[in-house]
Amino acid sequence: MKTVIINTPLGCTEIQGDENGISKIHVMNEDIEISTKIPKELKEAVLQLKEYFEGKSTEFSFKINPAGTDFQQKVWQELVNIPFGKTCSYLELSKKLGDVKAIRAVASANGKNPLWIVVPCHRVIGSDGSLTGYAGGLWRKKWLLEHENPVKQESLF
């Protein structure tokens, strides 16, 4: 498994992966040393994340390989379908997955997403439009949603 640490507007970010794809992208709450060399297996992910933060790209095309249960994989695949600049509630997500009663399980799988930004769990909000919980901190969720706001005139929240 290869690892690289990059700097983003939201903090130091660790990327892990190998020839089978990127398995983890994780923002850290502490500053640590930024990597000076990028393993070839991680270069495309680093480039695409940089372009995302610069506002030059709205989607990711590098290969991903997150580890998770079948249910988690199903939830994460549905998250990838939420378009850039749009949001979805946990209830809507549960409905799309075919089980409204699974809302807590969906929220739990969302919280265990190992691919920060690329699998856009930040696009899931409460049914009332509230930001609700976010593993990276609500300030990061707010920043990401505003970054993706196509209107760019005023804050969504």
CA distance 151 to 145: 11
137-105-29 Cα angle (round to 5): 20
Q: Could you tell me the residue ranges of all domains in the chain?
A: 2-53, 70-147
Among 1.10.10.10, 2.20.25.10, 3.40.309.10, 1.10.3720.10, what is the CATH number of 70-147? 1.10.10.10
Q: Residue 119 has which token pair?
A: 């699998």
Q: How far apart are CA 13 and CA 28, in angstroms?
A: 6
Digitized pLDDT (tens) for each residue of the chain, 157 residues in all: 999 999 999 999 999 999 999 999 999 988 899 999 999 999 999 999 999 999 999 999 999 999 999 999 999 999 999 999 999 999 999 999 999 999 999 999 999 999 999 999 999 999 999 998 888 899 999 999 999 996 655 555 5
Q: What is the pTM of this model?
A: 0.92
User: What is the SS3 assignment for 144?
Assistant: helix
Q: List, for residues 6-51, the tens digit of each pLDDT value.
A: 999 999 999 999 999 999 999 998 889 999 999 999 999 999 999 9
Whole-number Å distance between alpha carbons of 18 and 43:
11
- Distances in Å between the Cα of 126 and the Cα atoms of 7, 87, 129, 154 are 30, 10, 5, 20
Number of Cβ within 10 Å of residue 8's Cβ equals 16
Question: Which residue intervals of 9-69 are DSSP H helices?
Answer: 43-53
Active-site positions?
121
User: Could you tell me if 118 and 26 are in contact, meaning their C-beta atoms sit under 8 angstroms apart?
Assistant: no
Task: Give the three-class secondary structure for 49.
Answer: helix
